[in-house]
Structure 1
Amino acid sequence: MTIPDVGSEAPNFTLPRDGGETLTLSDLRGHPVILYFYPKDDTSGCTQEAIEFSQLKPQFEKLGARVVGMSPDPVKKHDKFKTKHELTIDLVADEDKAVIGAYGLWVEKSMYGRKYMGVERTTFLIGPDGRIARVWQKVKVPNHAAEVLEATRGLAA
């Protein structure tokens, strides 16, 4: 699968989320959605990214936007991750990686010469119409959440 293009409709999903509920992307229509994909709960980059999005959540909410993080980790792991780091954003679990695959983000990676499959850290800004407004690929975590907030402000303007 390839990454959906800007202007295309964001692939819909219903997945389990932290706290034991489910989240359906199409239910969030009418509002901007920041959908960010990350490899693993409680690793340094993923933790920093989640903390930065949580810190900016009130500003995203002022714009009517919802921040949703997705990884292949199970809901129980998301719950522990949220509690440990006092995260306030929604985290959804894509354990079978079907949605991650639909977004073209289950890719071959390499670390220390070893090849393995994993999530490519990517963020989508989805407009109120359900279409992808912007994509950040191979995200570098520092200040990323602030950059996404600026782009969301531009979308909401």
Structure 2
Amino acid sequence: MRSLAFLLLLGFLRAQALAPGDKAPLLEAQDSYGRPVDLRGSYVVLWFYPKAQSPGCTAQAKRYSELYEEFRSLGVRVYGVSHDPAGEQCDFIEKLSLKGGMLPDPQGRLARAYGVRSLFGFYSRDTFLLNPEGRVEKIWRGVNPFKDADTVLAYLRERLR
């Protein structure tokens, strides 16, 4: 039993690392409502979070939603990504009247591609900025859910204005 726990922890710690300038992996996905999402052609923020409707994730999602129009005015699309199935994400969106999109990742495909750690289906809080050329421009690992959206927006304001 101990060795199984060790192997799971080792897998959690050994996420494949991306670096700024790397080509963004898996540039096509589906949102929570089954609509295709192409992550190319504009700036895109992907914020990975552990679990829909948990306290930190709720705060993080609400703040991205509050700042949605500012991101949009800069030409930036914003998507939250979690292991939650589409239905749970839709409930999360509707319950909180969230703006922006959500990408369900119950198979962990996006998390693996971006090197986001996962332990028992709970993703680490990592945020990625993709540029219009389809490259990773900036990575924030282990973000504070109460400050993440503001940090990313401040970077974008400086970068794009």
Q: TM over 0.5: same fold? A: yes
Q: 2:147 aligns with which of 125, 143, 146?
A: 143
Q: Which moved more, 1:60-69 or 1:7-16?
A: 7-16
| Structure 1 residue 79 corresponds to structure 2 residue 90 | yes
**Kept after mapping to 1: 8 A contact 2:82/2:104:** yes
Cα distance in 1 between the residues matched to 2:50 and 2:22:
24
Percent identity of paired positions between Structure 1 and Structure 2:
31
Q: Which residue identity does 2:157 align to in structure 1?
A: R
**Kept after mapping to 1: 8 A contact 2:46/2:129:** yes
Q: Secondary structure at the match of 2:21?
A: coil
Q: Secondary structure at the match of 2:46?
A: strand
Segments of structure 1 that go 5 or more residues without pairing to the other structure are: 109-115
Cα distance in 2 between the residues matched to 1:40 and 1:118:
6
Q: How far is the alpha carbon of 1:102 from its aligned partner? A: 1.1
- Structure 1 vs Structure 2 CA RMSD: 1.5
Runs of 4 or more, structure 1, over 3 Å off, are: none
Structure that is richer in strand per residue: 1
**Kept after mapping to 1: 8 A contact 2:51/2:122:** no
Segments of structure 2 that go 5 or more residues without pairing to the other structure are: 1-14
Q: 2:124: which partner in 1? A: 120
Compare CA radii of gyration and give the structure with the larger one: 2
Q: 1:50 aligns with which of 58, 61, 72?
A: 61
Figure out how many residues of one structure are paired with residues of the other and give that number. Answer: 147
Q: How far is the alpha carbon of 1:61 from its aligned partner? A: 0.6
TM-score normalised per structure 2 = 0.85
Q: Which residue identity does 2:155 align to in structure 1?
A: A
Cα distance in 1 between the residues matched to 2:110 and 2:148:
22
